[in-house]
Amino acid sequence: MFTVTKEFRFEAAHALPHLPEGHKCRRLHGHSYKFRVEVDGELDERGFVIDYAEISAEVNPIVDYLDHKNLNDLFDFHTSAENLAKWIFDELSKTLAVSRIVLFETANTSVIYPAR
Ligand SMILES: Nc1nc2c(c(=O)[nH]1)N=C([C@H](O)[C@H](O)COP(=O)(O)OP(=O)(O)OP(=O)(O)O)CN2
Ligand SMILES: [Zn+2]
């Protein structure tokens, strides 16, 4: 079994207004998000699990939907990294056999969905 990965980036704003008074993330702020798409599988006749280009073809519309947006305008869920990773996974699963999403909200923080 192999795991093929490809990384994507987008810039977006969000706020978490349900957090307690004084929490800095209540305020509107921005992140340079990065996420890694992981696809597990065996090799086909090309020696690929999946062509990297096939991943891009399915992920790019999702990136376009998110890039330079206020995420609170797009979603009715709390725009935490956890919820966003799950949304990307669920959306991508409609067209691609994605195994997991690793979403970095900052350089130091990340979420993996589904958990390993
Ligand atoms: N489990 C989660 N915790 C937090 C989330 C989240 O999505 N899931 N989000 C935030 C904020 O949106 C934001 O990401 C702040 O992150 P944080 O690492 O706390 O802030 P900094 O980048 O400024 O890091 P410092 O270590 O404080 O410099 C908060 N928590
Ligand atoms: Zn944030």
Over residues 33-54, the pLDDT tens digits come to 999 999 999 999 999 999 999 9
Q: Is 18 annotated to bind ligand?
A: no
Beta carbon of 12 within 6 Å of any ligand 1 atom: no
Return the best residue to mutate from 109, 110, 113 for the ligand 1 pocket (most ligand atoms within 8 A of CB). 109
Atom of ligand 1 nearest to the CA of 109: 18
Mark out the alpha helices in 35-112 (DSSP H runs). Answer: 52-66, 71-74, 81-93
H or E element, residue 33: strand 29-41
Radius of gyration of the chain (CA): 15
> Does ipTM come in above 0.90?
yes
Task: Name the residue range of residue 87's domain.
Answer: 2-113
Q: What is the CATH number of the domain that holds 29?
A: 3.30.479.10
- Exposed/middle/buried for residue 59 (C-beta within 10 Å: 0-12, 13-18, 19+): buried
78 appears as a binding residue in the annotation: no
The model's pTM is 0.96
Distance in angstroms (rounded) separating the CA atoms of residues 83 and 106: 15
Please count the structural domains in the chain: 1
Would you say 35 and 85 are in contact if contact means Cβ atoms under 8 Å apart?
yes
Residues 50-84 have pLDDT tens digits of: 999 999 999 999 999 999 999 999 999 999 999 99
Q: Is 23 marked as a binding-site residue?
A: no
